[in-house]
Amino acid sequence: MTSNQFYVPLIEKGVTGIVLEGTEHHHLAKAARVKKGDEVRLFDAAGYRCRALVESVEKDRTKLLVLEEIAPEAPRVRLVLAQAILQAKKMELILQKASEIGISGFLPVETARSLKASGDRSGSKSDRWARIAREATKQSKGDAAPAVYPAGRLKDILARPARGLRIFLSENGGRPLRCLLVEAGNGVPPPAPEVTVFVGPEGGWTKAEEAGFRAAGCQPVSLGGRILKAETAAIAGVAMIAHFWNG
């Protein structure tokens, strides 16, 4: 395994040479201090990867020779984190850590007790979140950065047709998450190819929201008897699911 991984927008099939520019070149040359003759790994937005040899490190670009193409490996379970919107720093922390763990998608959710979507139409927040997801994927040597979806209202999201299993973390009952996960162990496949886990805001879900989850066929699950902060619950929940079903 190479010690450094870098992001490029697209690795074309059959390509023999790739040029790194901008922030990725700067990271390679200044932060990682990669030199001519070193081997690195590259990944793109679709999860394609390759091993590459550094041919030259110039002032504003790095030229690389592709040694081996590596097709993306689909996870056993596509894990989507639907997170009630929190203060910006907390959302960024959750996205960073969940991307390191290996989620496939990140969906900000407006709820009764959450912050509202900022209404930033410039795309700057979406760009920042996508960059955070890429950097975390790069650091953890993951295959593909998670998709960052536009924020949506909880009732609208629940009205969409379910794609696989949908669960929500609840402080008011529900099966222990570990029981659901252990049942799919010992060679038994996960219950669905895609799992969406809903994590509530500070203050939790309202009674009406919990009723809405159940009406939409979502399963309530519990992380135990302790009351966790929203960011702790999100990271703990996706880590457990990823470990049991994608580990």
**Residue 1: what pLDDT?**
43
Pick from 75, 101, 74, 78: nearest CA to 234:
101
Are 65 and 83 in a shared domain? Answer: no
Are 66 and 83 in a shared domain? Answer: no
Task: Provide the token pair at 118.
Answer: 């900022």
Are 160 and 220 in a shared domain? Answer: yes
At which of 70, 101, 121 does a domain end?
A: 70
Are 66 and 86 in a shared domain? Answer: no
- What is the tally of structural domains in the chain? 2
Q: How confident is the model at residue 192 (pLDDT cuts 50, 70, 90)?
A: confident
**Residue 96: what pLDDT?**
97
Average pLDDT rounded to a whole number, residues 130-137: 92
Average pLDDT rounded to a whole number, residues 164-168: 94
Are 95 and 24 in a shared domain? Answer: no
Per-residue pLDDT at 186 exceeds 60:
no
Per-residue pLDDT at 157 exceeds 70:
yes
**Residue 115: what pLDDT?**
85
**Residue 122: what pLDDT?**
47
Residue 173 or residue 33, greater confidence: 33
Are 188 and 227 in a shared domain? Answer: yes
At which of 17, 50, 70 does a domain end?
A: 70
Are 117 and 144 in a shared domain? Answer: yes
Are 112 and 141 in a shared domain? Answer: yes
Are 102 and 219 in a shared domain? Answer: yes
Q: How confident is the model at residue 106 (pLDDT cuts 50, 70, 90)?
A: very high
Average pLDDT rounded to a whole number, residues 89-113: 96
Per-residue pLDDT at 119 exceeds 80:
no
**Residue 34: what pLDDT?**
92
Q: How confident is the model at residue 142 (pLDDT cuts 50, 70, 90)?
A: confident
**Residue 247: what pLDDT?**
67
pTM of the model: 0.83
**Residue 121: what pLDDT?**
47
Average pLDDT rounded to a whole number, residues 57-76: 88
The CATH number of whichever domain residue 20 belongs to comes to 2.40.240.20
Per-residue pLDDT at 208 exceeds 90:
yes
Q: Residue 29 belongs to what domain range?
A: 5-70
Are 136 and 235 in a shared domain? Answer: yes
**Residue 234: what pLDDT?**
97
Are 36 and 108 in a shared domain? Answer: no
The CATH number of whichever domain residue 158 belongs to comes to 3.40.1280.10
Are 95 and 200 in a shared domain? Answer: yes
At which of 70, 93, 118 does a domain end?
A: 70
